[in-house]
A and B are shown apart, each in its own frame.
Chain A
Amino acid sequence: DTGVSQDPRHKITKRGQNVTFRCDPISEHNRLYWYRQTLGQGPEFLTYFQNEAQLEKSRLLSDRFSAERPKGSFSTLEIQRTEQGDSAMYLCASSSRQASETQYFGPGTRLLVL
């Protein structure tokens, strides 16, 4: 079991640019979650998928944010027209009923918007 992987691990971008992050869940985990963590805070929920379906989105997820999980495997999180306030760690987690819906986290993608 290879665990949850995220790519890239670090991203520096200029304000106004678009960025896309990828998450590969633990194989056979049908639920996939995105969280955002700012410095000194706990992770905040953004959205989650069950297979291909996006079941819940946080109000934190503005129109500039979009997430997809087209084939029910990996997921992408895109941020359009980045702002300095988007600088954060973006964490992905996955779970399954067989694993008692325990969420296992990836290493995160650290985004810095200049």
Chain B
Amino acid sequence: AQSVTQPDIHITVSEGASLELRCNYSYGATPYLFWYVQSPGQGLQLLLKYFSGDTLVQGIKGFEAEFKRSQSSFNLRKPSVHWSDAAEYFCAVGPYQGGKLIFGQGTELSVKP
């Protein structure tokens, strides 16, 4: 079965602290992986994506993610969190040639001052 698991429903970090959001996937074909961020009542904004090449990918707003094929994981990281990073984060997987994305349940990030 194709699925995405984000084990952490809600994470709270202090401003300036590092962040890691976990994502594990199950996908039959070569996965095309994404992280999106969603502010309340808004659509999804693309943070970064990975299909091939260097397994450490850089995205917008200082985020990065590392693809680990052996662990079927694509974890999102940020070295120093800002209050404006508080939002919901979604990991997704799909086919490279286009088609439906399968999303995780999301991780809500709160940032303490």
Count class of interface residues, chain A: 20 to 34
Partner of A101, one of B4, B98, B102, B106: B98
**Interface positions of B from 1 to 51, Cβ below 8 Å from A:** 4, 32, 34, 36, 41-46, 49, 51
Contact status A48-B99, CB under 8 Å: yes
Contact status B44-A91, CB under 8 Å: yes
* Alpha-carbon separation in the docked complex, A45 to B106 (Å): 15
Contact status B98-A91, CB under 8 Å: no
Nearest Cβ distance between residue A40 and chain B, in whole angstroms? Answer: 8
Nearest Cβ distance between residue A37 and chain B, in whole angstroms? Answer: 9
Of the candidates B34, B36, B95, B101, the one having the most CB atoms from chain A within 10 angstroms of its own CB is B101
Count class of interface residues, chain B: 20 to 34
Given contacts A42-B106, A48-B100, A91-B44, contact A105 B49 (CB under 8 A): no
* Across-interface contacts of B46 in A (CB, < 8 A): 102-104
Nearest Cβ distance between residue B56 and chain A, in whole angstroms? Answer: 18
Q: What are 14 A-B residue pairs whose CB atoms fall within 8 Å in the complex?
A: A6-B43, A40-B105, A42-B92, A43-B103, A45-B102, A48-B99, A50-B98, A100-B96, A101-B95, A101-B97, A103-B94, A105-B43, A107-B42, A107-B43
A residues with CB within 8 A of B? 4, 6, 31, 33, 35, 40-45, 48, 50, 55-56, 58, 91, 93, 95, 97, 100-108, 110
